[in-house]
Amino acid sequence: MKYLLLTIAAAAVLAAPAAFAAAPAEQALACAAEDMQVFYYYLDASQDPKVRSRATACHAGKAALIMPDWLQSAVPGMLARKVWKDPEEGELSEALLWQTPVSILYEFLSKAPKTQDPQAEMAGYEDMRIRFMMSVDRVTKAGLESSFGGRGGPMLGGLNNLMRDFDEVTEAASDASRVKFGRKTADIARRSRDLFAQLFEAPRKGAGKKPGDKYSPEARVLPGYRGVSLPVSGAQALYLVRGDRVDMLVTFEAMMNTDIKEKVTATILQNVLVTGVHKPASAAAPGVVQLLCNPNEAQYAALSLVQGSNIVLVRRAPGDFELRPMEIASFRKLIK
């Protein structure tokens, strides 16, 4: 999706690096942002000479940062390899899939030092968080552990940790905790720099392999959305977990082509995120599922709860976000 990519101005990355007279914390964020900016352009098709050899004040003992020879050789193949198919953007390259989370890290690291009131900027940070989670999910599902000469495995482990950091930094912004926000911002800067540093090292332990631990992002109610709690059968609740995406099917009585009421089932909501599940002790006991709905969806969910005789939440396969036109189902149609 096009909104996943942040456009980083070429003039900025080619400009001379700043000389730092700022506080150490500010310098750390600026250097992390610069690393992400350079990382992004290492994977760009232009391969500008000023990017391959760039003056730096962020790397101790180095007056200039030289793009590794192995990476210069690998990038053309990464640009040519199509590893993901998006319904809107078409086929996407291996390089582009890695550029996306890197660009969002740059976006965050550029914005955070200027933030005076994290709570006031909550919507923007939540948007970054969601885009970052989606971008890492793409890298994971595309199986890019072998990228960068096998460095992709440990790098993906770093991105998993950064997902946790994004959860915690946005939680801090929501709570208006400036101290925690600053601490978690520093963690994101540190991990971002470590991600970049791996380009200049031999592949680490776990090279070419999937990370042992995969972080599951927190499913939460976002600004402008509603958390709708629905009672469901225990049989449904036992097999749903936070983070699943579901369709909501509602059975109710309706007048169809005759004057006689008949029971029908309709798909009322599609691709709705599960933000919480109360699992009963047994399938016979009732459970509760909370869904993340926009205000309009929330109204239909509430109406379905009152008017419907039965609600079924159908779990979607991971990565299936498509909305499909669905006919109302009835036995009359079935037996025709």
Query: Tokens 């192995």 identify what position?
Result: 70
Mean pLDDT lowest for which of 65-69, 127-131, 149-153, 258-262?
258-262
Whole-number Å distance between alpha carbons of 221 and 228: 10
**pLDDT higher than 70, residue 322:** yes
Domain membership of residue 210 (yes or no) is no
Q: pLDDT grade, residue 176 (50/70/90)?
A: low
Q: Are residues 235 and 170 in the same domain?
A: no
Q: Are residues 17 and 143 in the same domain?
A: yes
Q: Are residues 185 and 322 in the same domain?
A: no
Q: Are residues 192 and 231 in the same domain?
A: no
Q: Are residues 37 and 169 in the same domain?
A: yes
Please state the domain count of the chain: 2
Q: Are residues 181 and 291 in the same domain?
A: no
Q: pLDDT grade, residue 12 (50/70/90)?
A: very low
pLDDT of residue 218: 64
Domain membership of residue 9 (yes or no) is yes
Q: Are residues 47 and 151 in the same domain?
A: yes
Query: Tokens 């890019």 identify what position?
Result: 144
* 332 vs 39 pLDDT, higher one: 39
Domain membership of residue 118 (yes or no) is yes
Domain termination residue (choose one: 165, 200, 235): 200
Domain membership of residue 208 (yes or no) is no
Domain membership of residue 299 (yes or no) is yes
Domain membership of residue 220 (yes or no) is no
Domain membership of residue 205 (yes or no) is no
**pLDDT higher than 80, residue 18:** no
Q: Are residues 182 and 325 in the same domain?
A: no
Structural domain that includes position 69 = 2-200
Which bin fits 206, alpha (ψ -120 to 50), beta or left (φ > 0)?
left
Q: Are residues 15 and 98 in the same domain?
A: yes
Amino acid at 5: L
* 74 vs 12 pLDDT, higher one: 74
Mean pLDDT lowest for which of 46-50, 219-223, 296-300, 315-319?
219-223
The pTM (predicted TM-score) of the whole model is: 0.67
> CA of 299: how far to CAs of 139, 243, 292, 294, 309, in Å?
36, 22, 12, 9, 17
Q: Are residues 43 and 163 in the same domain?
A: yes
Q: Are residues 189 and 254 in the same domain?
A: no
**pLDDT higher than 50, residue 6:** no
Domain membership of residue 216 (yes or no) is no
Whole-number Å distance between alpha carbons of 308 and 20: 64
Domain termination residue (choose one: 182, 200, 218): 200
Q: Are residues 89 and 152 in the same domain?
A: yes
